[in-house]
Amino acid sequence: GDSVTQMEGPVTLSEEAFLTINCTYTATGYPSLFWYVQYPGEGLQLLLKATKADDKGSNKGFEATYRKETTSFHLEKGSVQVSDSAVYFCALTSGTYKYIFGTGTRLKVLA
């Protein structure tokens, strides 16, 4: 079945450091890919998405490119801030009613 694998956390970075959170997937067909973020005490919020190969999703300085050849959707940000501290979830859907999520990666940014 479809699945998503994310890098283990927690990831601890200093402010203004470069961030990469790896995500790879297994799916039949051509899924849509997503990154969701969960700030402390809040629900999951859509951060960005890409619906076909080579699409780049971007939002709030975060980017991820849908790489079909490597079945990856790595999340990147050039300069993280303390306010980016959260849990990040990679997810996919193959057009049904459900998302498949990864385990989440906790990011902690130190001032």
- Provide the binding-site residues for another protein, judged by CB under 8 A: 4, 31-32, 36, 41-46, 49, 51, 89, 91, 93-104
Compute the least distance from the CB of residue 93 to another protein, in Å: 4
Nearer to another protein, 14 or 103 (CB): 103
Mind giving me the DSSP string for 76-93?
EESS--GGG-EEEEEEEE
Shortest reach from residue 91's CB to another protein, in Å: 8
Q: How far is the CB of 30 from another protein (least distance, A)?
A: 10
Tokens standing for 22? 């790896």
Pairwise CA distance, residues 80 & 4, whole Å = 24
Tell me the Ramachandran region of residue 97: left when phi exceeds 0, alpha when psi lies from -120 to 50, beta otherwise. alpha
Total length of the chain: 111
